[in-house]
């Protein structure tokens, strides 16, 4: 297996080791069978030093995933690991399998919502805990060192946890009388293997779009943040033969969910978190709820109204998970669709299917529609996530300069825990470096559309000062 032809000190190889996971393009410079073996070997060394001997191994629905799985398996065996091989799966199912088999290690081969031609890893060290920034740096540094291979001393146990996982989800849902009609989009990703059965068994009339896993993704990639990919579910939800009460769009590896209301409008995940906050704080008063810098003021104000404690934190599933456990919070989430439910309710990892089921549970106990319930929340106008190109090798340095510039302009208004979130009286704007792509992400919110537009123009002006940042705003709704 080991050919030693990968240039591990190259910029391309190093760029894959990101803030909260490892992602790269499938090519001879970044991810291929040889580099996967090297990276997983370095990870195996890390967890072996921590006394971890059992690892769950799974992979998402991409054409490269089976061969990368084989390379990863060989690396884990070389390091003497007992490997619970769950095959083609979803990230939350792999997290669940760690508990099921008492395995603190995890190798989930996935690039999540990144397009075809990419792959990567979510690596675990402990339960409901993925590697953080410094640990990922350590994996990279181990890649640069010679390996001391031990030979085939590990063990492989092939297991199927699908039914156990589905039963676990169902056991934690208490449906009311008003079971909603649900339309589900999986966009030919792996979630199609799980979603229909879960919501049918919850008693919902369920309609499923693009359910069969297809590595070519003939319609669109399973990314609920992509406006174009959401058009099908938004147009079909009110079809007279369907007439669904809500739509749920699960991403390729199942750890994110996008929601559509009956009238075909997107319901961003910070609004979903606001609804779940009402549900959980009614049962668990005064609890802490964690959310990322991209979330609406609607969420923080709702948490406070319900007697909870809102805590803003950095975007990134490992950051949010870590903060959630540090604060012993019952609920956490990101606007991108990662929702974490903990306490007595669940395990504290991001699970799009479970979050969708909890939202359905909440609605089943209401007499009003999703849209009517949302209308009772504090009201703001929020943009979609907007992206501008900025090269991977300069984006963080550029962001440091942008943060500094905003602090010069608005010294008392900048939250800099993750990029620059600039607070104004009638709204806010955010710019931050994407951890997974050569992009900067932007988001805007105002009490009115006019307020939001004014903040957008301020950001356009500031970003125009930096030649490394593209002037073309992708996914803008204007």
The catalytic residue positions are: 112
* 229-248 burial: b if 16+ Cβ within 10 Å, else e: bbebbbebbbeeeeebbbbb
């Amino acid at each position: 297996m080991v050919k030693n032809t990968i240039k591990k000190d190259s910029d391309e190889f190093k760029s894959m080791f990101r803030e909260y996971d490892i992602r790269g393009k499938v090519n001879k410079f970044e991810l291929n069978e040889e580099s996967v073996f090297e990276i997983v070997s370095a990870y195996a060394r890390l967890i072996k030093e921590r006394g971890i001997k059992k690892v769950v191994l799974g992979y998402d629905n991409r054409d490269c995933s089976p061969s990368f799985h084989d390379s990863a398996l060989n690396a884990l065996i070389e390091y003497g690991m007992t490997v619970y091989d769950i095959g083609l799966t979803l990230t939350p199912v792999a997290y669940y399998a760690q508990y099921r088999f008492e395995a603190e290690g995890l190798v989930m081969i996935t690039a999540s919502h990144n397009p075809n031609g990419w792959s990567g890893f979510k690596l675990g060290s402990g339960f409901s805990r993925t590697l953080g920034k410094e640990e990922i740096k350590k994996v990279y540094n181990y890649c640069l060192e010679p390996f001391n291979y031990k030979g085939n001393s590990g063990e492989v146990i092939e297991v199927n946890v699908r039914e156990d996982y589905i039963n676990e989800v169902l056991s934690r849902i208490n449906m009311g009388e008003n079971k909603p009609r649900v339309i589900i989009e999986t966009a030919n990703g792996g979630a199609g293997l799980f979603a229909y059965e879960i919501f049918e068994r919850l008693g919902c009339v369920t309609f499923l779009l693009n359910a069969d896993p297809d590595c070519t993704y003939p319609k669109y990639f399973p990314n609920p943040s992509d406006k174009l990919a959401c058009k099908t579910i938004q147009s079909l939800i009110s079809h007279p033969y369907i007439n669904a009460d809500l739509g749920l769009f699960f991403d390729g590896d199942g750890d994110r969910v996008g929601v559509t209301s009956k009238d075909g409008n997107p319901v961003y995940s910070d609004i979903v978190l606001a609804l779940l906050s009402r549900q959980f704080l009614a049962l668990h008063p005064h609890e802490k709820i964690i959310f990322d810098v991209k979330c609406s003021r609607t969420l923080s104000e709702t948490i406070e109204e319900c007697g909870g404690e809102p805590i803003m934190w950095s975007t990134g599933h490992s950051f949010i998970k870590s903060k959630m456990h540090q604060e012993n919070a019952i609920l956490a989430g990101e606007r991108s669709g990662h929702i974490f439910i903990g306490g007595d309710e669940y395990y504290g990892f991001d699970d799009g299917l479970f979050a969708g089921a909890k939202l359905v549970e909440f609605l089943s106990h209401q007499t009003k529609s999703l849209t009517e319930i949302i209308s009772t929340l504090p009201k703001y106008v929020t943009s979609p996530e907007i992206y501008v190109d900025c090269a991977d090798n300069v984006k963080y340095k550029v962001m440091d300069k942008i943060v500094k510039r905003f602090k010069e302009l608005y010294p008392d208004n900048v939250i800099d825990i993750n990029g620059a979130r600039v607070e104004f009286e009638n709204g806010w704007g955010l710019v931050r470096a994407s951890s997974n792509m050569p992009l900067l992400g932007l988001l805007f919110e105002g009490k009115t559309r006019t307020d939001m537009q004014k903040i957008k123009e301020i950001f356009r002006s500031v970003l125009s000062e930096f030649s490394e940042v593209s002037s073309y705003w992708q996914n803008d709704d204007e």
